[in-house]
Amino acid sequence: MAQKKNLSGIWIMVVAAILLEAISCVMYFTSRAAIKHEAEQLAKTELRKAELEIENHTIEMETAVKTLVMLSEKHIDYPDSIFSATRLAVRTLNDYTSMAVAFVPNYYRKQGRWFEACSSRITEDSVYTRQIGSAEHDYFQAEWYQNGFLRDSCWWSEPYLDDSGSKTWVVSCSHPVRDRKGEIVAVVCCDLSLDYLQKVSEYLQIYPKSHYSIHSHDGLAIVPTPDTIPGAKYQIYNEEIDATGWQISIIIPEDVIFADLNRMGLIIGILMIIGLAVLALMVWHSAITTRKMIDFAEKNQRIEGELEVAQTIQNAMLPKVFPPFTDRPDINLYGMVDPAKEIGGDLYDFYIRHGKLFFCVGDVSGKGVPAALVMAMTRSLFRSITAHEEAPDLIMRKMNRALVDQNAQNMFLTFFLGILDCETGRLDYCNAGHNAPVLIRREGTKMEHFEDLISNLPLGVETDFVFKAQHTQMAYDDVLFLYTDGLTEAEKSDHEQYGEERMYKALEADEARDLSPRELVAHMQHEVEQFVDGAPQSDDLTMLVVRYQKPSLFMRNDIQQIPTLAEWIEGLDLPTELSMPINLALEEAVSNVMLYAYPGQHGQVLIEFSKEKSIIFTITDSGIPFDPTQQREADTTLSLEERQIGGLGIHLVRQLMDEIYYRREDNKNVLTLIKHI
């Protein structure tokens, strides 16, 4: 009997050891896959940030190059004006760089064979301008100059050492300049220092000992890859910079990624040995108890792991920064999710693409980790599909098919999708079984309840369901209020629900008028909390408020405020080729107002924007009467010694804008600038 017990105990130990080893392996490889996936997502996110930083910088440089091309072609017969144009173009860029216009041999006979007008930013307020073409600096042999003749657009060079302009390693953006006959007579060049690209590493140091590199479209190392350890394994992630064709990469040692996991594996291994030793002593008396404890521990660990993963997904997916678009004065919004449990199935999301605000609110059926995963997948589908599609019904159809195909647990969600054209105020939307939003009209302070809203089926129910889209028109200061049923179905302890009628009254209340989106959400939260009177929350509560407001800018009579004008203009989503000239024209016009309308006085300047068939800016001030259009045209053909002081600012405005008008109205100066499109 004792032998049988011993054999039984040995078999229990063997089985227990095998089970523990199997569980540990499953946990290890599952955790390894999760950590690897997390590292990949983190690397891609950081690479995307770096790619956007570089791409925005290169687009800004290309815009400056095109502006310099335009100015050079306009003043092609006056070499002195070319110097002024390069200085003006350099001042439009925020970083330390050089811009040059290199002409074909002997174009200006008095200047000789080489003529390259170059301006470089030396300090924040200082620009150095000179002619650098010479036999020692024979730019005719430079790659950027020769390739500038190949195509009528911006071209990026391979890295090279610039010994005359920037005096450092650079890559250059070049563009041809044509004379009035359409022949190429010069090449504009703008340098991007490799020191700037080196700074991108600040975005990519996501792990200790991680490396990064940038290669040109021809494979040449712009930022070289550091030496790696022979025999070591690395994870490599890449991202292409669309504007230049470069490839940016991040290289992470695997032992760094899995350091915590390996350390935990060692600890678990030691604990397993100790546990088996203890099990050998207690197996005869506590086999059943030990088994229950192991099962209980595994269950708790699994639950905690699911909650942690779900919370991580939700925190990463939902927007957290408000206001989200500081460069968009016409859009103000705020959103929140208040889950009833540790994790929830509600979601909201939004972003702006090509001057349109894409936004959504959804409510997944069910609770727990499955609902959180469906929420994460829905948000990813929303981002990926709307990146290429702008028709709400087609977006819904594609999202629905993807969710049905991957809906192993037969879950569905209600979903509302909206696309607001920030320029026209047109709101296109499609609903998938979700609660009807509320449109609060500021004109007449009336509300629209979307009573004619087409419900459609929820997402994830029927593969080939045909969704129907609708549209309406929003005016400036209109507010769109979206929510999930956690608001209207909030219950008191006696199960009485908050309901739509109370919601409408709360939105129409006097204290709710003229509230910001954040304040309106706080107001509705307060109303619901007062109603439920401490009863436990039964469902997730989500609200999203979108306010469409008129783009305008108030500025103090202070020249130091001029940089805020460029930030405001950047948020107006103007055509790329017009953004820089308009910025220059407005800076000159507003500077004139500050200098002449308020001499030695305090005051405000109001800039208003509208866009129909033309781009129109209206500048209004309450200063002394001052009509800048009455200033005599500056004669740019005269030398600097012969010209009268002043007049160049309004001259530049006339050159950059198509029409300029002044009127005195209600004791105010009103200056109108028009650019045709």
Residues 6+ apart with CB under 8 A from 51: 239, 240, 241, 248
Return the pLDDT at 4: 53
Q: Is 233 helix (H, G, I), strand (E, B) or coil?
A: coil
Residue 299 has pLDDT above 80, yes or no: no
**pLDDT: which is higher, 658 or 123:** 658
**pLDDT: which is higher, 329 or 130:** 130
CATH level 3 topology of 552-676: Heat Shock Protein 90 (3.30.565)
**Spatial distance between the Cα atoms of 145 and 172, rounded to a whole number of angstroms:** 10
| Residue pLDDT, tens place only, 587-617 | 988 988 888 888 878 888 888 887 767 888 9
Return the pLDDT at 9: 60
Q: How confident is the model at residue 456 (pLDDT cuts 50, 70, 90)?
A: very high
* DSSP class per residue in 537-548: P-S-EEEEEEEE
**Spatial distance between the Cα atoms of 393 and 616, rounded to a whole number of angstroms:** 34
Please tell me the CATH code under which domain 38-279 is placed: 3.30.450.20
Return the pLDDT at 162: 74
Q: How confident is the model at residue 465 (pLDDT cuts 50, 70, 90)?
A: very high
Domain ranges of the chain: 38-279, 318-548, 552-676
- Which residues pair with residue 171 across a beta bridge? 192
Return the pLDDT at 59: 86
Q: What would the mean pLDDT of 73-89 be, rounded to a whole number?
A: 88
Q: How confident is the model at residue 177 (pLDDT cuts 50, 70, 90)?
A: very high
**Spatial distance between the Cα atoms of 499 and 506, rounded to a whole number of angstroms:** 11
Q: How confident is the model at residue 645 (pLDDT cuts 50, 70, 90)?
A: very low
**Spatial distance between the Cα atoms of 248 and 243, rounded to a whole number of angstroms:** 13
Return the pLDDT at 475: 86
| Residue pLDDT, tens place only, 619-635 | 999 889 988 888 766 55
| Residue pLDDT, tens place only, 71-80 | 888 889 888 8
Residue 206 has pLDDT above 90, yes or no: no
Q: What would the mean pLDDT of 174-192 be, rounded to a whole number?
A: 91
Average pLDDT of the chain, as a whole number: 82
Residues in the chain: 677
**pLDDT: which is higher, 216 or 145:** 145
What is the model's pTM?
A: 0.47
Residue 643 has pLDDT above 50, yes or no: no
Q: What's the token pair of residue 554?
A: 């108030």
Task: Please state, for a pLDDT cut of 70, what percent of the chain lies above it.
Answer: 86
CATH level 3 topology of 318-548: Phosphatase 2c; domain 1 (3.60.40)
| Long-range CB contacts (within 8 A, 24+) of 271-278 | 272/20, 272/21, 272/24, 275/20, 276/13, 276/16, 276/17, 276/20
* DSSP class per residue in 607-650: EEEEESSEEEEEEEE-SS---GGGSPPP-TTS-TTTSPSS-HHH
